[in-house]
């Protein structure tokens, strides 16, 4: 009889691992607590490592088609001066692709379409997971109990499964940054594919999509739970003197389109990504700040690595040991780097520190910038059997 897995969570990580498991011949059920598949978030950047993982899952071509290469842009000051230029062509030469921007809803749709109907069960919240024998694990979901050879917990930053497996772990903490973002209702005239602008304790950025629309995001250092009665008015006040096209981007969305989330991260690294026949994956295992745009890319790496490890065998238990050994050091290192990038980027607020950083960035040769980026992007997926 074939092997079976239950995946808890139908986000990018859960859907990706379900595709990977099916490609190696496993039966898979994905439990997603949301009853409607919403347009979670606005846009996302996928770097070479994430795109290579998607290639290994057989959906890379479709994602490339639905996304836009980030060839132009970079990091700017609020007055519009350039701190670093994005060299998409150099990245393409080095790793075969520039970073690509895609709407989250499009990425989710493409991942869902790669799964047979009936694999993803929405409105299905996993309440508990427990080992019921040396090789079996059970998920309680409403009135139903699902038995499987493996449970993959891809239930996000607030992972309930992680809490059950590691009750002494402190869990996620507030990163100090809150994010407001939206997608423009219509195409906008943008001079670049991707930009970040750093002020004192604030960042504004955009990602352009193939249809000419764009997402923008504003990241602010504020106490957790800060909310605005009128978010767009608050952002206009905060960013009114920042360079074009920032004011125009703020004007291009209706007030109700603005999403606002506090960013939490798993600052204390987990001691293991597996416990018995349960594997943690994506934000459940290593929620990181968005400052490197690597959270989903790391979830995609996890998904391919887990499937490849199970395909290589010789046993499920041996494969899980290898998954933990391969994924924990790398993803935790990327999470540390993301935190550091936030501290030196968006979160830096003392004027002398901002001036020092800006000078260092202006003097850095673009080759050095590309080399730094490649440290995280140049990942080669294992073969799926
Ligand atoms: C502002 C921002 C910008 C970002 N930008 C980028 C970027 O440009 N590039 C990038 O690579 N990453 C980016 N990230 C990170 C990326 O969004 C996450 O790392 C990624 O979405 C994690 O995917 P996941 O599947 O692990 O978790 P999630 O996407 O959180 O999915 C978890 C799913 O599990 C479900 N769930 C939870 N509990 C249960 C349960 N008990 N039973 C059933 N279902 C459950 C949830 O409803 C959810 O659908 C960004 C993050 C933020 C906050």
Tens digit of pLDDT for each residue in 263-281?
999 999 999 999 999 999 9
Domain ranges of the chain: 4-173+265-377
3-class SS of residue 74: strand
Of all protein residues, whose CA lies closest to atom 38 belonging to ligand 1? Answer: 155
What value does the mean pLDDT take over residues 173-202? 95
- Report the pLDDT value the prediction gives residue 368, as an integer from 0 to 100: 76
3-class SS of residue 16: helix
Among the atoms of ligand 1, which is closest to the Cα of residue 141? 42
Is the pLDDT at 242 greater than 90? The verdict is yes
Of 42-46, 148-152, 381-385, where does mean pLDDT reach its minimum?
Answer: 381-385
Is the pLDDT at 289 greater than 70? The verdict is yes
Is the pLDDT at 1 greater than 80? The verdict is no
CB 131 within 8 A of CB 277: yes
Superfamily of domain 4-173+265-377, CATH level 4? FAD/NAD(P)-binding domain (3.50.50.60)
Residue 71 CB coordination number (10 Å): 17
The DSSP output letter for 292 is G
Tell me the pLDDT of the chain averaged across its residues.
Answer: 94
What value does the mean pLDDT take over residues 146-156? 97
CB 51 within 8 A of CB 64: yes
The answer to whether the Cα torsion of 62, 65, 67, 68 is positive or negative is: positive
Of all protein residues, whose CA lies closest to atom 49 belonging to ligand 1? Answer: 11
Is the pLDDT at 63 greater than 90? The verdict is yes
- Report the pLDDT value the prediction gives residue 183, as an integer from 0 to 100: 95
Q: How far is the CA of 353 from the centre of ligand 1 (A)?
A: 32
Classify residue 312 as left (phi > 0), alpha (psi -120 to 50) or beta: alpha
CB 13 within 8 A of CB 154: yes
Is the pLDDT at 106 greater than 60? The verdict is yes
- How far apart are the C-alpha atoms of 249 and 183, rounded to whole Å? 9
DSSP 313-362: -S-HHHHHHHHHHHHHHHHHHHHHHHHHHHHHTTT---HHHHHHHHHHHH
Q: How far is the CA of 179 from the centre of ligand 1 (A)?
A: 14
Residue 211 CB coordination number (10 Å): 11
Best residue among 295, 298, 304, 341 to mutate for probing ligand 1, ranked by most atoms within 8 Å of CB: 295
Q: How far is the CA of 15 from the centre of ligand 1 (A)?
A: 11
The DSSP output letter for 250 is H
Identify whether 314 is preceded by a cis peptide bond (ω within 30 of 0). yes
pLDDT in tens, 216-235: 999 999 999 999 999 999 99
Ligand 1 neighbours (beta carbon < 6 A): 8-14, 31-34, 44-45, 50, 125-126, 154-156, 160, 179, 217, 261, 263, 282-284, 290, 293-297, 299
Is the pLDDT at 39 greater than 70? The verdict is no
Is the pLDDT at 181 greater than 90? The verdict is yes
Best residue among 44, 51, 126 to mutate for probing ligand 1, ranked by most atoms within 8 Å of CB: 44
If residue 175 lies in a helix (H) or strand (E), which one and from where to where?
Answer: strand 173-183
* Percent of the chain scoring above 90 in pLDDT: 89
Q: How far is the CA of 283 from the centre of ligand 1 (A)?
A: 6
Residue 221 CB coordination number (10 Å): 17
Classify residue 234 as left (phi > 0), alpha (psi -120 to 50) or beta: alpha
What value does the mean pLDDT take over residues 150-157? 98
Q: How far is the CA of 324 from the centre of ligand 1 (A)?
A: 20
Residue given tokens 């895609």 in the structure block: 102
Q: Give the residue from 62, 180, 152, 48 showing the smallest Cα distance to 113.
A: 62
pLDDT band at residue 41, thresholds of 50, 70 and 90? low
- Report the pLDDT value the prediction gives residue 365, as an integer from 0 to 100: 81
Among the atoms of ligand 1, which is closest to the Cα of residue 124? 43
Is the pLDDT at 40 greater than 70? The verdict is no
Report the chain's terminal Cα–Cα distance, integer Å: 19
The answer to whether the Cα torsion of 207, 104, 279, 308 is positive or negative is: negative
Q: How far is the CA of 32 from the centre of ligand 1 (A)?
A: 12
Q: Tell me phi and psi for residue 34, to 5 degrees.
A: -65, 135
- Report the pLDDT value the prediction gives residue 255, as an integer from 0 to 100: 86
CB 119 within 8 A of CB 30: yes
Best residue among 155, 195, 301 to mutate for probing ligand 1, ranked by most atoms within 8 Å of CB: 155
Cα angle 294, 234, 79 (rounded to 5 degrees) comes to 70
- Report the pLDDT value the prediction gives residue 150, as an integer from 0 to 100: 98
pLDDT in tens, 346-368: 899 999 999 999 999 998 887 77
Best residue among 16, 290, 376, 377 to mutate for probing ligand 1, ranked by most atoms within 8 Å of CB: 290
The answer to whether the Cα torsion of 77, 79, 82, 88 is positive or negative is: positive
Is the pLDDT at 159 greater than 70? The verdict is yes
């Amino acid at each position: 009889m074939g092997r079976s897995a239950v995946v808890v969570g139908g986000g990018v990580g859960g859907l990706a691992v379900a595709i990977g498991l099916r490609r190696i011949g496993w039966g898979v059920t994905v439990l997603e607590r949301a009853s409607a598949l919403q347009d979670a978030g606005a846009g996302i950047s996928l770097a070479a490592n994430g795109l290579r993982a998607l290639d290994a899952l057989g959906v890379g071509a479709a994602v490339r088609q639905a996304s836009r290469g980030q060839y132009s842009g970079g990091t700017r000051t609020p007055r519009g001066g350039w701190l670093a230029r994005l060299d998409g062509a150099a990245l393409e030469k080095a790793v075969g692709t520039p970073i690509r921007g895609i709407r989250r809803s499009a990425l989710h749709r493409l991942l869902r379409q790669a799964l047979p109907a009936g694999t993803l069960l929405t409105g299905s919240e996993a309440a508990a997971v427990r080992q019921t024998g040396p090789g079996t694990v059970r998920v309680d979901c409403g009135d139903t109990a699902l038995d499987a050879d493996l449970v993959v917990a891809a239930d996000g930053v607030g992972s309930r499964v992680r809490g059950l497996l590691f009750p002494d772990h402190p869990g996620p903490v507030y990163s100090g940054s809150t994010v407001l973002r939206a997608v423009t209702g219509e195409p906008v005239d943008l001079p670049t594919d991707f930009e970040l602008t750093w002020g004192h304790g604030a960042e504004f950025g955009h990602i352009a999509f193939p249809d000419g629309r764009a997402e923008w995001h504003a990241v602010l250092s504020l106490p957790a739970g800060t909310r605005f009665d009128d978010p767009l008015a608050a952002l206009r006040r905060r960013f009114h003197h920042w360079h074009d096209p920032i004011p125009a981007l703020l004007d291009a969305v209706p007030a109700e389109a603005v999403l606002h989330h506090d960013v939490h991260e798993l600052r204390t690294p987990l001691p293991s990504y597996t416990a018995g026949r349960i594997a943690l994956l994506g934000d459940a295992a290593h929620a990181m700040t968005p400052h490197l745009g690597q959270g989903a890319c790391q979830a995609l790496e996890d998904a391919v690595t887990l499937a490849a490890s199970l395909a290589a065998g010789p046993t499920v238990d041996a494969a899980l040991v290898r998954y933990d050994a391969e994924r924990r050091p790398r993803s935790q290192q990327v999470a540390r780097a993301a935190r550091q990038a936030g501290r030196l980027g968006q979160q830096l607020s003392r004027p002398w520190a901002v001036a020092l950083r800006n000078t260092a960035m202006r003097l850095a040769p673009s080759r050095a910038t590309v080399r730094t980026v490649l440290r995280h992007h140049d990942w080669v997926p294992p073969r799926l059997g």
